[in-house]
Structure 1
Amino acid sequence: MNAAVHTQQLADHRALRFLTAGSVDDGKSTLIGRLLYDSRAILADQLDTLERKAAGQPIDLSLLTDGLEAEREQGITIDVAYRYFATKQRKFIIADAPGHEQYTRNMVTAAAGSDAAVVLVDITKLDVTTRPVALLPQTRRHALLAHLLRVPSIVFAVNKLDAVNDPAQAYTAVRNALLDFAEQAGIQVAGIVPVSALRGDNVTQPLDADWYDGPSLLQLLEALPTAQERTAGHLLLPVQYVAREGEGTGNQPRTLWGRIAHGRVKAGDAVQILPSGETAVVAEVRRAGSVVDACEAGESAGVVLDRQLDVSRGDWIATPGTARTTQRFVATLAWLDPEPAVVGRKYWVRHGNRWVHARISAIDSRLDIHTLQATEAHELAVNEIGHVTVETQQPLPVEPYADNRVGGALIVVDPTSNRTSGALLVKAVG
């Protein structure tokens, strides 16, 4: 472990939030079940139930996460399943994301708040005799989405090593293919780990093999840093709730609550309300109902201003002059709706806590996940990723997603079906 990672671990005691992703039947649910089983994070009654169902056969660990009746019937993960466990080193929150293309939107939801992504690669589905080894489209898609969503650490777990004749050669071939893909996509890989989720090889205990001397998957996860919001620089806070103290409609102070996207706030700071542009001074900062000296990025804060302004849910609080509003921006669009994204159609978009009408004014290109090249496109089909220009009915204080995950992210909703249709990641403003 390098010194930077060790220092980060000492400074940050938060649980590591990670998701598992990959193609259908890659073994994601079984891998999580193995982590829970080996770390003794299963309740006694759960274990008894699994043992009775097994009837003397090996326990089906995937049942620990496939909680929906439809999931158990079909043998696939549909919704995101969250599980929790802890070791002596740290706590973990796991999101088991669906592998089927139909449920890619659920994977995007899980990735948006994750510190790490474990992308499983089922080695039995690949032709390891060819060079280079051709990766599955869903493996590439999930890795690209995790990268686009700025998941800080991306790990590849090469699964089912117990099912191949020459695991050393097969792992090396797949590892080289993953490294080539990551280099082309600009993905910094946190690790490539060989595992057998079914048998438990290299999941929680190091692999006893002369061809691999790296960490187990759990050892690697224990060493990964958690994502930290940027606390330095200017303030940006989306207002989620406005609370008024006391009775009546007089001049009682109002508290503007929200989770700070970046920067910090303290009493005496000058702030600007967006999109109105009005300014005020912070009279008081609150956290969990108590007055505090300051709050910073990642914390939920209540801000009381020195004068009454028209502020409501969906507005933003910022350092004056640091954020500007716009009605036009270019963005990466991950499209998740069976109905294709087309130029000119109106959608609802949500930025922070504000809903506004918007339309796609141009589709500039589509990303070919096989070649990683931008190709000409006039629409985006389900699970495609493209580069688009968006115009909104009202001005929004958007920022490049590379600078801030809150200010630079929007979700797209179909106004007719109310389906979540896509995720917008702002690239440039104006």
Structure 2
Amino acid sequence: MSTTTATTRPIPAPANSRSRVIFASLIGTTVEFYDFYVYATAAVLVFPYLFFPAGNETTALLSSFAIFGAAMVARPLGAIFFGHLGDRQGRKATLVGALLTMGIATFLIGLLPTYAMAGWLAPALLVVLRLAQGFALGGEWSGAALVATENAPPGKRAIFGTFPQLGAPIGFIIANGLFLLIAALLPSSDPSRPSAAFLEWGWRIPFLFSAVMVVVGLWVRLNLVESAAFEKTVKHGRVTRLPLATVFRTHGRQLVLGTFYMLATYVLFYLMTTFSLSYGRAATDGAVPGLGYDYTTFVLMMIVGVVFFGIFTMLSGPWADRWGRRRTLIWITLAIAAFGLVWAPMLSAGFVGVMAWLILGFALMGMTFGPMGALLPELFPANIRYTGSGISYNVSSILGAAVAPFIAVALWRAGAGSPFWVGIYLSVMAVLTLVALLLGTETKDVDMEA
């Protein structure tokens, strides 16, 4: 009699497909950056008129930027809160929570009363919701970067790490494209000021539209499964009770280095987006002279530049996988420092010079931002990676992004309209990042499941 022996094979653990990983990491950061850009555009275009007392326009603009910067202060708190959850409970639920928080806050901004309706309650509510936006973004980026890099194939971690970074240029194009469309449908007779209809209700549409994008992002993220790196951490009992304390106790040096790795990136990012929109639209014969472009023309020019942002974000991944993160970023940071030195001559060379400035600045932005999606997570082991990478990324937002537009406006005013000192400020920040990179070590070959 013959017998057959059934061979039992272990059922493989469910895994995320490459397309799901790419889309989940990309859609969330696209929504988050869309929400941030919607606010950044409104901070220049709308809020100085609607949420502060009538009077000094520069004071109103600086007040709007101050609220913009307040979100950066909330981001490290969000990184700690969501990082704790992500390192203890997993990446999936944490990312869903961060996306919901950002989406609800942005939607509610679209429903706020103005200063004329509610007095000082209007900017106070704007501050609260802006803080909620920052809190959410504090937990979003690091989770999206971990989804991408912890699920990446061998030797392609930097390439996969660029997909959450692509959310920045895509979110910019969607947000500003929507503002442009609304401005075209509600035209103004004064190119320096939005129309009455735009200020009355048109500006609210991009904030309310955020709800649609959030629903799409949630659908994608709810279909994720946890990464092998986190599952291995749980299986081997390496989940730490207090990730924040562990990070500071065991990886303090990496926290500091990661923070300064991001510094030049953040300063360049917000100078090329928020500050440039103010500088580009300011009248050439104003109290503080600018470039004198109307809103539609300059935003279209910026969108052309942002296309190069996206292209070079994608190119930076293969470069960082081939040559290493540190070597790639050292050369790019040197280029950013040099770029800051040529602001004045480029911006005084007419349309061609301004367009070249936008393309070069955004191309450098893509090159420096792309590798960060892999570099910062690689600095930390799996059991504290969400917390560590999130704190580094978001503390840098205070040192760079929170103060960059404010400092830039002050330097612009001090220079009587010249961008020279703003460029020097960028170069100095690039030197600080360069020092950090020279003090750091290469992370390309670290084991992400360790």
Which structure shows the higher helix fraction?
Answer: 2
- TM-score of the aligned structures, taking structure 1 as reference length: 0.28
Larger relative strand fraction: 1
Report the structure number with the largest CA radius of gyration.
1
